[in-house]
Amino acid sequence: MRVYFDSSAFAKRYISEPGTAEGLAWCDQATELALSVIAIQELFSAFCRLKREGKFGKHSADRQGGTALGQ
């Protein structure tokens, strides 16, 4: 099953917040994940914002950014 995520829903794979469990369950069921072309930029923006707010360390932000890109 192909599952489409907008960036806020896909971010729940990497950032624990309300709805994370549901988002992870959809990912587990999917055979393909689909994202909009702007989703990666929006994810990096969210990681950087959390880093600025002190909710995400530099190492975590760098690692999550690489993970989101499949690196």
Report d(CA 48, CA 25) in Å as an integer: 26
pTM check: above 0.75: no
pLDDT value, residue 13: 84
Domain count, the chain: 1
Plot region of 12 (φ>0 → left; ψ -120 to 50 → alpha; else → beta): alpha
Q: Which two tokens stand for residue 52?
A: 């600025």
Identify the CATH number of the domain in which residue 26 sits: 3.40.50.1010
User: Quick one: pLDDT band at residue 9, thresholds 50, 70, 90?
Assistant: confident
The domain in which residue 34 lies consists of 2-68
pLDDT value, residue 69: 47
The position carrying tokens 């190492």 is 59
pLDDT value, residue 25: 92
| pLDDT one-digit tens code per residue, 13-66 | 888 888 889 988 998 999 998 998 899 899 889 888 888 888 776 555 455 555
